Structure 1
Amino acid sequence: MSFSTLIGLVAGITIVLIAMAMGSSISMFINIPGLMIVVGGTVAATMIRYSMADSFKAIGMSFSVLKVNSEVKDFNELVDITEDLLRLVRSKGVLAMEGYEVNNSFYSSGVRMLVDGYALELVKQTLKEKNKLLVEKAETSAGVFRSIGEAAPAFGMIGTLVGLIQMLSNLSDPSAIGPAMAVAMLTTLYGAMIANLMALPIADKIESWVQNESDREMLIIEAIESIGQGHNPSVMRDLLAPYLQINSKAKGRGEEG
């Protein structure tokens, strides 16, 4: 799991806040009407595009991307586990896998189905459906954050227009010009920060994360098929080699998650 999203988010916000504090007081960058326009408008627009359930699922998915767990994720380690299981099955039979603990929930569910006597094709179909549902959920979640990334700057511009209208309508009252100009400028800032420091990076991260997860699950499905067919370990490694190459390229791009 890469911490780049969390580190980038914290670092980005910290740098902006430090820059604000160095030039003036942070309090002058807080404007409640401006926040109401940008945050409220963005939430409303997102809720129009997506259901409330999809919106909450997107928030949950963002935590899944950041979450650290103890499950086996490394592709090479999964191949080693598959070799252990193959040798176990070839020497003692399928039921012997019941005593082998696989520290990966997706892999473990496939092994459990084989031990319970499910047909290999049914096991593969079930695992592929789980994989498909994960990808669809992630695509929807990324779409929610992209919607936020599109709406926030737009409502920032709307807030700017509101502030300018208020300012122009009160030119005879100098005391009203300052607050109106603050709304005009700060809403654009809020919209840009929400889009570029949170929403769009998280959308990209979810897409990268689910691609890696999907590749891992497809490797596991192929591994389960090798176990079910009782392949020789060397044959199994040849069959899974393409996934290891894909993983190596993902690591090179820093996408291992």
Structure 2
Amino acid sequence: MDFATLIGLIAAFALVALAVLLGGDATAFFNVRAALIVIGGTFAVTLISFRMSEISTAFSAAWRTLKVVGSHDTATTENLLHMADAHRKEGIRGVERHLPKLRQNVFVKQAISLIIDGINPDEVEQMLNSELSARAQKDVRSAQVLRRAAEVAPAMGLIGTLVGLVQMLADLNDPTQIAPAMAVALITTFYGAILGNMLFAPLASKIERNSQEENAKLLLYATSVAAIGRQESPRRLQMVLNSMLPPAEQIRLYN
């Protein structure tokens, strides 16, 4: 679990809630009309901009931000280097012998299976790069959905403010209606700012970051698989992989 995301969300909302509670009556910050305008309006306007399936995918991606993406799996990378060495020495049987060790990594296992099936390594690399591009585009679209929601939420808050002010001005002759209308005017702005700046925008940024890390990891694996198919030297492959990794994560299998 990505505790940074979870702690950040909890802390942000907890601090606002604490400020509200310390200020007195917290029930004043709960308003059904304001929630309908901001939450319902944000969803409706976002739905105009994107398909329902894209919105559903975006919220699934937002939920996945609570999971740690992490860097490459060192054990998997070292297995790929051993596999490259085995392919040069034993041929395709050497690759097959190491395949069970990759059972936890579906992406790599499927890619290696293509090599075992005799598909040209360049074609395999192209297929893997196309898959990575499709995954990245999907994540970009999910981030766009949340960024659009982050833009719309404060705007809906402003619309709610205008609605509340109009109602207040229309009922100046009735003092009992002024306070509820003013509450809608202020609370909608509050709700819009909260949703846009404390929820949607940060989650969009986290989706983009996780996507970059995930694609960098998969690109590492795709490069390894293509090199195995070409029967490249494992030492050369290690140098290529290390050029893609930060110093702390570099592989030292072949010195």
- The TM-score normalised by the length of structure 2 is 0.89
Alignment match, 1:86: 84
After TM superposition, the structure 1 = structure 2 runs for residues 30-41 of structure 1, keeping only pairs within 5 Å, are 30-41=30-41
Alignment match, 2:236: 235
Out of 139-148 and 3-12, give the one that drifted further. Answer: 3-12
| CA–CA distance in structure 1, aligned partners of residues 180 and 142 of structure 2 | 37
Aligned amino acid, residue 84 of structure 1: H
After TM superposition, the structure 1 = structure 2 runs for residues 53-72 of structure 1, keeping only pairs within 5 Å, are 53-67=53-67
- By how many angstroms is 1:26 displaced? 2.4
- Between the two proteins, the alignment pairs up a number of residues equal to 246
| CA–CA distance in structure 1, aligned partners of residues 59 and 143 of structure 2 | 10
| CA–CA distance in structure 2, aligned partners of residues 247 and 39 of structure 1 | 44
| CA–CA distance in structure 2, aligned partners of residues 217 and 89 of structure 1 | 21
Residue by residue over 1:123-164, the C-alpha shift from the partner in whole angstroms, topping out at 9 and shown as x without a partner, is 112211110110110110000000000000000000011111
Residue by residue over 1:3-29, the C-alpha shift from the partner in whole angstroms, topping out at 9 and shown as x without a partner, is 322221111111111211121232211
The list of structure 1 runs, each at least 4 consecutive aligned residues, that deviate by more than 6 angstroms after superposition, is none
| CA–CA distance in structure 1, aligned partners of residues 48 and 24 of structure 2 | 38
Contact 1:79 1:237 in 2 (8 A): no
| CA–CA distance in structure 2, aligned partners of residues 247 and 164 of structure 1 | 58
- By how many angstroms is 1:246 displaced? 8.9
Aligned amino acid, residue 145 of structure 2: V
Contact 2:79 2:101 in 1 (8 A): no
Aligned amino acid, residue 235 of structure 1: R
Q: Is there any run of 5+ residues in structure 1 with no aligned partner, and where?
A: 249-257
- By how many angstroms is 1:202 displaced? 0.7
Q: 1:60 to 1:95 in 2, by over 3 A?
A: farther
Alignment match, 2:150: 149
Aligned amino acid, residue 187 of structure 2: L
Contact 1:166 1:180 in 2 (8 A): yes
| CA–CA distance in structure 2, aligned partners of residues 230 and 197 of structure 1 | 50
1:211 corresponds to 2:212? yes
- The TM-score normalised by the length of structure 1 is 0.89
Residue by residue over 1:223-243, the C-alpha shift from the partner in whole angstroms, topping out at 9 and shown as x without a partner, is 111111122221111111221
Contact 1:154 1:191 in 2 (8 A): yes
Alignment match, 1:112: 113
Out of 109-118 and 25-34, give the one that drifted further. Answer: 109-118
| CA–CA distance in structure 1, aligned partners of residues 234 and 121 of structure 2 | 18
Contact 2:84 2:95 in 1 (8 A): no
Residue by residue over 1:161-204, the C-alpha shift from the partner in whole angstroms, topping out at 9 and shown as x without a partner, is 11111111111111111111110000000000001111000111
| CA–CA distance in structure 2, aligned partners of residues 238 and 126 of structure 1 | 23
- By how many angstroms is 1:77 displaced? 4.2
CA RMSD of superposed structures (Å): 2.0
| CA–CA distance in structure 1, aligned partners of residues 189 and 248 of structure 2 | 40
Residue identity over aligned pairs, in percent, reads 35
| CA–CA distance in structure 1, aligned partners of residues 146 and 138 of structure 2 | 13
- By how many angstroms is 1:76 displaced? 4.3
Q: 1:246 to 1:60 in 2, by over 3 A?
A: farther
| CA–CA distance in structure 2, aligned partners of residues 65 and 114 of structure 1 | 33
| CA–CA distance in structure 2, aligned partners of residues 19 and 161 of structure 1 | 26
Alignment match, 1:130: 131
| CA–CA distance in structure 2, aligned partners of residues 88 and 238 of structure 1 | 18
Q: 1:213 to 1:68 in 2, by over 3 A?
A: closer
Q: 1:55 to 1:42 in 2, by over 3 A?
A: same
Q: 1:21 to 1:93 in 2, by over 3 A?
A: same
1:179 corresponds to 2:177? no
